[in-house]
Chains A and B, each alone.
Chain A
Amino acid sequence: MSSLSMRPCGDFRTSYKQDNTIFETKTIRWVTIFTIIALCFAPMLVDGYFITLLIQISYLGIAALGLNILVGYTGQISLGHGAFFGFGAFASAWLNTSFNIPVLLCIPLAGFLTMGVGMMFGAPAARIKGLYLAIATLASQFIIEDFFARAEWFSGGASGSMANPVSLFGFDFNTDQSFYYVALFALVFMFIWGCNLMRSRDGRAFIAVRDHYLSAEIMGVKLNKYRLLSFGISSFYAGIGGALYAHYLGYVSAEGFTIMMSIQFLAMIIIGGLGSIKGTLMGVIFMVFLPEVLASGVGLMKMTDWGNIPMVVDGLAYIKEMAIGVVIICFLIFEPEGLSHRWTQIKNYWKFYPFAY
Chain B
Amino acid sequence: MAGLSLGALPHFIYQPIWVAIIFIAMIFWRIMAIRHFWPLPTKQISSFKLIHLAIAGIAFVLLFISYGNLIGRDAGVALLTVMLSLKVVEIRNHRDYYISCFLGYFLVVTNFFYSQNIPTALLMFIVVIIMTASLISLNDSKKSLSNKGLIKLASSMLLQAIPLMLLLFVLFPRIAGPLWGLPQDAHSGKSGIDDSMTLGKISQLILSDEIAFRVRFKDQIPAQSQLYWRGPVLWQTDGITWTELNKRHVMSHRPDFTTSGNEYAYTITLEPHNKRWLFALDFPSEPPLTPASHYTYDGQLRSIKPINQRQQIRLRSYSQFSLNPKQDDVINNALQLPDKLHPRTRQLAQTWQQQSSQPTELINKALAYFNQNDFYYTLTPPVLTGDTIDRFLFESRRGFCEHYAASFTVLMRAAGVPARIVTGYLGGEINPVDGFLVVRQRDAHAWVEVWLEDQGWIRIDPTSAVSPQRIDQGISTIMPEGFNTPLLMASSRQLIDLWHTIRTNWDALDNAWNQWILAYGPELQKEVLQKLGMTKPDWQTMALWLAMGFVLVSLLISFYLFYHRPRYDPVSQLYSTFCKKAARAGCVRPKQQGPLDFARALKQGYPHLSQQIDHITELYINLHFGKQTVSMSDLRFAIKQFKFTPSN
Say if A and B assemble together.
no
